[in-house]
Amino acid sequence: MFFLKTLKSYSAKFFIIGIIIFTIVSVAMSIIFLLRPKNLSNSVKTDPSYTQKEAVNTDSIATLAQEALHSRQYLKALELSKLGLEDDSTSTMLLNIQATAYASQGRYALGIEALTKITEIQSNSAIAYLNLGGIYTKLGKFKQAEINLERALKLSPDQPEIHRRLGEVFLGTKRYVLAQEHFSTALRLLPQTSTLYYYLGRTLEEAGKNDSALTAYLHAIEIDIGFSECNYRAAILARKLGLLNIANTNMERFTSLGKIGSGDTEAIKKFKKLRASILNAPESFINHINMGRFFVRHNYINEAENQFQIAVNIASETNYILNHIGNIYLELERPKSALPYYVRSAEIMPEHIPSILNIGVTYELIGNFKRALSYYNLAIERAPDDARCWYAQGLAYFNNGDIKRAKVAWEKTLKLTPINHPLRKEVHNRMITIP
């Protein structure tokens, strides 16, 4: 509903949210219309919210289901995956989404059932065996977990996540040499991963190798200073080893992290849940972004920046990630912190119009109208047929009191915007207020 608020407010604060939503909607619509439609299930055809033009095929349903999964909308992900499977019962992507959603809800039997179907359809699916191993590990069924993870390893020997999961199994069954071997291999394949150092430290500590365990924990903290469990374990081990300065430093940090939210029990619960998500899936950039967002909200900026950097290092879609982090800072009213991320995004992909617009919006929020306008003009220069660019320029002029130029820009926006598009209505509502 933030986008609608821009109809009532002339502030740039609400404009950015409108632009973000408009961009997302535009991209989603592009995907829908570019994909070639197949026959839909009866449930979609009879749903009044769908029109003939909005019909999507299995691939696009899978894309929407994946997005729902990433945003932790598990019921929606399940609904979409079931819908897609009615049209294509052999879609391994949809089955994997379904399995992940079930597992996230604690419905492990149904998750195992979906993953088993994948292995029947595609016997060389390393990801299916990996996920089966993960579920069995959570259930404490280490034998079944090991069998499936060994199958995954044969199919994909250089996958760090498989080695991590095997390390967990061997740690859980007290086979410390094998656990250390697999965690070390995972670190070789995926260096600078705090969670892997954490698990390596746990293994070494339980094996009685306290010096090496402390070193591993400190490595994890160097990468992720907000890793509370590592700070605690490092403090305890350092005290055992007589290293009081290290012990005190890490215990103070652990205590500080434990006070996140100023005693707010819900905030502490949230923190623990986010950390558990990272421990369970350290390779997920979304988990690190969510933790970063949490740290920013509670003014732990150094810890937040650590999490965002981890996300950037993990993600292949760096441009998208940088913009997303920038959006988080704007959402939390920290435009100066957002700006470097938008700039980096534009440097990586100079023709990426949303990045250029985001830089302009950020400068506007900071109060530098001249710089903001220069980026809106740059966006128009690079994409003269993109309505968003003209809309942004018009709003900037309007906010600065230049009604004449705002009107010109918005007239251009209307010419470039489809009749039924939400942006057209917004611009129209703004223009009727102009004399």
Q: Where are the alpha helices (DSSP H) in 56-141?
A: 58-70, 74-87, 92-104, 108-121, 126-138
Spatial distance between the Cα atoms of 102 and 112, rounded to a whole number of angstroms:
9
Tell me the two tokens of residue 192: 């600078």
Q: Cα–Cα–Cα angle for 305, 310, 171, nearest 5°?
A: 125
- Is residue 90 within 8 A of residue 121, CB to CB? The reply is yes
Going by C-alpha positions, the residue among 228, 195, 162, 231 that lies closest to residue 313 is 195
What is the structure's pLDDT at 54? Answer: 35
What is the mean predicted confidence (pLDDT) over 84-97? 86
What is the structure's pLDDT at 211? Answer: 94
Place of tokens 């071997």: 181
Q: What's the sign of the alpha-carbon dihedral 148, 149, 150, 152?
A: positive
- Is residue 213 within 8 A of residue 205, CB to CB? The reply is yes
Place of tokens 């441009």: 319
Q: Domains of the chain by range and CATH?
A: 35-123 (1.25.40.10), 313-435 (1.25.40.10)
- Is residue 3 within 8 A of residue 427, CB to CB? The reply is no
| 25-29, 242-246, 347-351: the lowest-pLDDT one | 25-29
Write out the H or E segment, with its range, that includes residue 224. none
Residue 327's contacts (CB-CB under 8 Å, 6 or more residues apart) are 16, 20, 338, 358
| Sequential DSSP letters for 319-382 | HHHHHHHHHHHHHTT-HHHHHHHHHHHHHH-TT-HHHHHHHHHHHHHHT-HHHHHHHHHHHHHH
| 51-65, 236-250, 326-340: the lowest-pLDDT one | 51-65
192-202 per-position pLDDT tens digit = 888 899 999 99
| 108-117, 183-192, 354-363, 419-428: the lowest-pLDDT one | 419-428
- Label residues 47-64 b or e (16+ Cβ within 10 Å = b): eeeeeeeebbbbbbbbbb
Q: Which amino acid is at 14?
A: F
What is the mean predicted confidence (pLDDT) over 383-401? 85
What is the structure's pLDDT at 90? Answer: 86
What is the structure's pLDDT at 286? Answer: 83
Average pLDDT, the chain: 79
Residue 257's contacts (CB-CB under 8 Å, 6 or more residues apart) are 226, 228, 231, 271, 300, 303
Cα-to-chain-centroid distance, residue 122: 28
- Is residue 23 within 8 A of residue 42, CB to CB? The reply is no
What is the structure's pLDDT at 129? Answer: 93
Tell me the two tokens of residue 250: 């890490």
What is the structure's pLDDT at 209? Answer: 95
For residue 163, pLDDT beyond 90 = yes
Angle, helices 160-172 vs 176-189, to 10°: value is 160
Place of tokens 């408009």: 22
Report the chain's C-alpha Rg in angstroms. 25
What is the structure's pLDDT at 262? Answer: 54
What is the mean predicted confidence (pLDDT) over 388-413? 86
Going by C-alpha positions, the residue among 318, 294, 317 that lies closest to residue 306 is 294
For residue 164, pLDDT beyond 90 = yes
What is the structure's pLDDT at 330? Answer: 83
Place of tokens 């305890």: 236
Q: Which amino acid is at 100?
A: T
Residue 426's contacts (CB-CB under 8 Å, 6 or more residues apart) are 3, 6, 7, 18
Residue 168's contacts (CB-CB under 8 Å, 6 or more residues apart) are 137, 179, 199
What is the mean predicted confidence (pLDDT) over 20-26? 39
What is the structure's pLDDT at 316? Answer: 63
% residues pLDDT > 70 (the chain): 84
